[in-house]
């Protein structure tokens, strides 16, 4: 089983969107039983909150089931549980490294690192642009799954 944890600031916009998109992607390809997918936050701002309504609206527009989720904090124990711990921007990476410690550095990446143009995914909490966030998340998830398949990790 491949453990994938998506991480963002509050765990209600980008990381829950990525969790839903990637979960749907692997389900459609008949690979769901090979993955354990979740998401977490680097800050406590939204603990216990459901996915943001903008995230839900965008996923519904795309006919992607929204995962049942409540925002939770990333913990050091997640470093042991997950094979890939994927952040959305450089600030996330800094906090992920602080929380997880050096022992799990090799598991940490940005979602768009798996594409040909690594960059941050803008936080729609601030931009209000859930369309752009979805496009980036979808591109990153497609590239990440292709990378896993190419590396023969399935």
Q: Which residues of 48-67 are buried (b: 16+ CB within 10 A; e: fewer)?
A: ebebbebbbebbeeeebebb
Q: Please, where are the H alpha helices in 12-129?
A: 14-28, 53-61, 76-81, 90-100, 124-127
Catalytic residue among 8, 78, 136, 141: 8
Based on the residue annotation, tell me whether 8 is a catalytic residue of this protein. yes
Active-site annotation holder among 14, 78, 89, 136: 14
Q: Given the residues 24, 78, 89, 123, select the one marked as catalytic.
A: 123
Cβ–Cβ < 8 Å for 75, 81: no
Catalytic site includes residue 13: no
Q: Are 2 and 148 in contact (CB under 8 A)?
A: yes
The DSSP secondary-structure symbol of 64 reads: -
Active-site residue flag, 14: yes
- Catalytically active residues, by annotation: 8, 14, 123
């Amino acid at each position: 089983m491949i453990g994938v944890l998506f991480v963002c600031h509050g765990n209600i916009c980008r990381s829950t969107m990525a969790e839903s998109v990637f979960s749907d992607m692997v389900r459609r390809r008949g690979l769901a039983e090979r993955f354990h997918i979740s998401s977490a936050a680097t800050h406590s701002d939204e603990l216990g909150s459901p996915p943001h309504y903008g995230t839900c609206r965008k996923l519904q527009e795309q006919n992607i089931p929204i995962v049942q989720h409540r925002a939770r904090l990333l913990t050091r124990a997640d470093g042991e549980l997950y094979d890939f711990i994927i952040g959305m921007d450089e600030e996330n990476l800094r906090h992920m490294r602080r929380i997880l410690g050096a022992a799990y550095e090799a598991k940490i990446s940005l979602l768009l690192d798996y594409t040909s143009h690594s960059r941050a995914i803008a936080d729609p909490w601030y931009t209000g642009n859930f369309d752009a966030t979805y496009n980036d998340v979808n591109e990153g998830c497609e590239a990440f799954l292709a990378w896993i398949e190419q590396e023969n990790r399935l």
